[in-house]
Amino acid sequence: MEGDNKLVIAISDDFFTAFSKIPRSIQKKTSDFINKFRNNPTSKGINYESIINTKDKNMKSVRIDQEYRGIVHKPESGNVYILLWVDHHDEAYEWARRKKCDINSETGNLQIYTVDSSDSEAEERQKPYEGIFYKISDRHLLRMGVPKELLKRVKSFLSEEELEKDKSILPAEAYEALTLLSAGLTPEEIIDELFTSETIDESDYHKAINREGSRQYFIKLDDKSESELKDMLSAPLEKWRVFLHRSQRKLVEKSFSGPARVLGGAGTGKTVVAMHRAKWLAKNILNESGEKVLFTTFTVNLAEDIKDNLRKIASPEIMKKIEVVNLDRWIGEFLKIQDYHYQIVYNDELKLLWKSAISQSVSDLPFDEDFYKEEWEKVILTQNVSNKIEYIKATRIGRGVRLSRKERIGVWEVFEEYMELMNDKGYRDVGSAMKDARSLLAQNPKVLPYKNIIVDEGQDLGSQAYMLLRQIVDEGPNDIFIVGDSHQRIYKNNASLSKCGINIRGRSSILKINYRTTEETRNWAFSLLKGVQYDDLDGGVEDGKGYKSLFKGPEPEINNFSSVEEEGEFLLEKINWLIKENYVEKKNICIVARTQKLIEQYKDIFSNSEEELYEVKKRLADDRSQDKIRIATMHRVKGLEFEYIFMAGITEGIVPLEYAIKNEKDKTVIREFEKSEKSLLYVAATRAKKALIVSSHGKVSKYLKNYN
């Protein structure tokens, strides 16, 4: 059989879970054993011991020390050795007796599952009821990875809760398929999406370990360096570093003929895919010296978080080929090199500039600076309008307020004042700076080293940004890779990729499996968006159908208090209970609030206790070495995840933020503002891995009225 003589050493994702639970002293000994095992699993120094009464005769025990044992799958034929588990002696043996590791005869993938479940119990549970999978044919269940030994067990499940309870019994791929089945997908859809059809050799472990479905749960150690192995073991629960879902791996390692777009709800692993994609491109596509992958996103803090995480999965040599930077910073640095003499201004400075332009113009139209700013960004810059006549002819679809020809002339007079003020002061807004950067690139298109671009949080970039990105790299295979989710659009930017010259037709994918948030939290968060339509970044609609979490948990807890002080005391008491009773690390708890003012109020309340709050600030990566309770604004928490999220201050006037829109009369602007406020709540809620606790003080936000 081809490849039979090649020695293959692998490790399962279950092992990482077990490794994380053993004492640190035993972890060190286990790491030493793995290095010895990796170098030569056939060494006489590795004393394989048989385990009596096992269902799988290939299960062997190996000594870690006097008390702890590792479990290895050592096949009778072939040279594929797999490290499966580590535990205290008795527990390790008990695990091995209940488990089986073999090749599924239908999927061809390696599986680990429990084989001591009771058929008589399953048969009893079927009567007099019909299980939720009772009508699914055995053939379909087998094709979805359910082992023959567990068919009766699966058909006996009366609810999703029973499926969740028996999660550890099933092979991971079968549990995933059954979860999707319970979410409403058909067997045919699941099989087509997750499994391949071909002749399977149940004895060919070499072929099985290399299949996409196996690579989701097993990783080969023989092609990993000692430093890579050390990094993997240093944070064993961050399994996304090495174990990609097959749907993710397809996107990471696929060669696209042009730009590609990946959509997905919160927790579906879009950023994980983007980071692994950058690594894969740098390793496999960049051939010439000096070529780079540009990895960009909208905000500074997300870029810093991504850079920090990329270092954990990519070697220093690979990192040299990947430039991670938020787009605004990239533009500033690029223009500085080009001897550009304008200063890019934001927020308050920009607002003052618009106020001055309005007051100095002869126009007496009743619009404020926010109207002119949005008209400038969404009409003038997007359509490259350069004079009054072009503006009069420009389309204003979606702007809300209708303008007559005379009113457009009046608006243009404000724009002329604005442009003159910018020139006098040496200022540029970022949209104008992007336009200038595009002009410079058009004059010298070969000035940049980038061959590929990765865009994370693509929903937050506007038309000017995408038109600039289109100019940064030449059109061709694998040129632009965009991941995003319009449900998480918390800034006002919006764009249609095709209108910006980025043609993704035939190269679009959707990730629908949530690996972070429980189904209860995901459902609750998504319900906040009910009645609002979201786009697919290219002019179409993204309805969010078919998304499903693989995890179950408690329903979100909703609380209301009479004052912010009372709410703060509740937060302190609840968090202390979590730490003491559930043994949660402080750094895995985060309080999230809408405004910085609220952040300061909660910090004051906690300052009188023994618990110190660590604020996750703008422009800085979260320092995970700090074992303190986190606190952050809703904008800052984007891109992060914690076991427990406390969404605090969800109070009327604060969510939605009343003062930010109080004088606005444009119904379209108001509608878009409300949409972004709901998206902020959705983003904050979906940072939670285990549980979500929501609180308010005084009058509760209208967004929570249905939950009181």
pLDDT at 321 over 70: yes
Q: Could you tell me the strand order of the sheet in which 508-511 lies?
A: 322-326, 292-297, 450-455, 480-484, 260-264, 508-511
Look at residue 171 in the predicted model and tell me its pLDDT.
Answer: 95
- Higher-pLDDT residue of 666 and 507 is 507
Q: How many CB atoms lie within 10 A of CB 326?
A: 20
In angstroms, rounded to a whole number, what is the distance separating the alpha carbons of residues 372 and 632? Answer: 31
pLDDT at 235 over 80: no
pLDDT at 597 over 70: yes
Amino acid at 15: F
Q: How confident is the model at residue 3 (pLDDT cuts 50, 70, 90)?
A: very low
User: Helices 564-582 and 596-607 meet at what angle, rounded to 10?
Assistant: 60
Q: Are 681 and 632 in contact (CB under 8 A)?
A: no
Q: Could you tell me the strand order of the sheet in which 589-593 lies?
A: 557-561, 688-697, 642-647, 589-593, 629-633, 613-615
Average pLDDT for residues 620-648, to the nearest whole number?
A: 92
Half-sphere exposure of 419 (CA within 13 A, CB side): 14
Q: How confident is the model at residue 2 (pLDDT cuts 50, 70, 90)?
A: very low
Q: How confident is the model at residue 122 (pLDDT cuts 50, 70, 90)?
A: low
- Which residues partner with 679 through β-bridges? none
Give the residue from 587, 650, 651, 575 showing the smallest Cα distance to 615: 587
In angstroms, rounded to a whole number, what is the distance separating the alpha carbons of residues 671 and 661? Answer: 10
Q: How confident is the model at residue 172 (pLDDT cuts 50, 70, 90)?
A: very high
- Higher-pLDDT residue of 44 and 663 is 44
Q: Please give the mean pLDDT across all residues of the chain.
A: 90
Look at residue 128 in the predicted model and tell me its pLDDT.
Answer: 44
Half-sphere exposure of 481 (CA within 13 A, CB side): 27
* H or E segment and range at residue 111: strand 110-114
Look at residue 294 in the predicted model and tell me its pLDDT.
Answer: 98
* 608-641: b (≥16 Cβ within 10 Å) or e: eeebebbbbeeeebbeeeeeebbbbbbbbbbbbb
Average pLDDT for residues 561-566, to the nearest whole number?
A: 96
Instruction: Report which listed range, 12-16, 400-404, 589-593, is most confident.
Output: 589-593
Tokens of 506: 């035939």
Q: Could you tell me the strand order of the sheet in which 218-220 lies?
A: 49-50, 59-63, 68-73, 80-88, 8-12, 218-220
In angstroms, rounded to a whole number, what is the distance separating the alpha carbons of residues 533 and 215? Answer: 37
Q: Are 55 and 98 in contact (CB under 8 A)?
A: yes
In angstroms, rounded to a whole number, what is the distance separating the alpha carbons of residues 10 and 110? Answer: 11
* H or E segment and range at residue 63: strand 59-63
pLDDT at 62 over 90: yes
In angstroms, rounded to a whole number, what is the distance separating the alpha carbons of residues 281 and 322? Answer: 9
pLDDT at 125 over 60: no
In angstroms, rounded to a whole number, what is the distance separating the alpha carbons of residues 150 and 138? Answer: 11
In angstroms, rounded to a whole number, what is the distance separating the alpha carbons of residues 265 and 512? Answer: 7
Average pLDDT for residues 674-702, to the nearest whole number?
A: 96
> pLDDT tens digit string along 145-166?
999 999 999 999 998 889 988 9
Q: How confident is the model at residue 418 (pLDDT cuts 50, 70, 90)?
A: very high
Look at residue 608 in the predicted model and tell me its pLDDT.
Answer: 87
Strand, helix or coil at 218?
strand
Contacts (Cβ under 8 Å, ≥6 apart) of 499: 463, 539
CA 239 to each of CA 112, 212, 231: distance values in angstroms, whole numbers, following the listed order: 17, 16, 11
Look at residue 672 in the predicted model and tell me its pLDDT.
Answer: 87
Average pLDDT for residues 644-661, to the nearest whole number?
A: 94
Average pLDDT for residues 614-634, to the nearest whole number?
A: 90
> pLDDT tens digit string along 486-541?
999 998 888 999 999 999 999 999 998 898 999 999 999 999 998 899 999 998 99
In angstroms, rounded to a whole number, what is the distance separating the alpha carbons of residues 598 and 600? Answer: 5
pLDDT at 300 over 80: yes
Look at residue 92 in the predicted model and tell me its pLDDT.
Answer: 97
pLDDT at 299 over 50: yes
CA 355 to each of CA 266, 348, 350, 351, 673: distance values in angstroms, whole numbers, following the listed order: 38, 11, 9, 6, 21
Residue 213 CA, chain-centre distance (Å), reads 21
In angstroms, rounded to a whole number, what is the distance separating the alpha carbons of residues 178 and 147? Answer: 13
Look at residue 297 in the predicted model and tell me its pLDDT.
Answer: 95
Half-sphere exposure of 457 (CA within 13 A, CB side): 25
Peptide bond just before 656 cis, omega within 30 deg: yes
Rg (CA), the chain: 28
- Higher-pLDDT residue of 450 and 444 is 450
Q: Where are the alpha helices (DSSP H) in 426-563?
A: 430-443, 463-472, 519-527
Tokens of 273: 């895919």
Look at residue 1 in the predicted model and tell me its pLDDT.
Answer: 41
What whole-number percentage of the chain has pLDDT above 90?
69
pLDDT at 444 over 60: yes
User: Helices 187-194 and 172-182 meet at what angle, rounded to 10?
Assistant: 140
pLDDT at 126 over 60: no
CA angle 666, 656, 562 (to 5 degrees): 145
Dihedral sign for Cα 542, 548, 551, 555, please: positive
Look at residue 621 in the predicted model and tell me its pLDDT.
Answer: 79
In angstroms, rounded to a whole number, what is the distance separating the alpha carbons of residues 691 and 688? Answer: 6
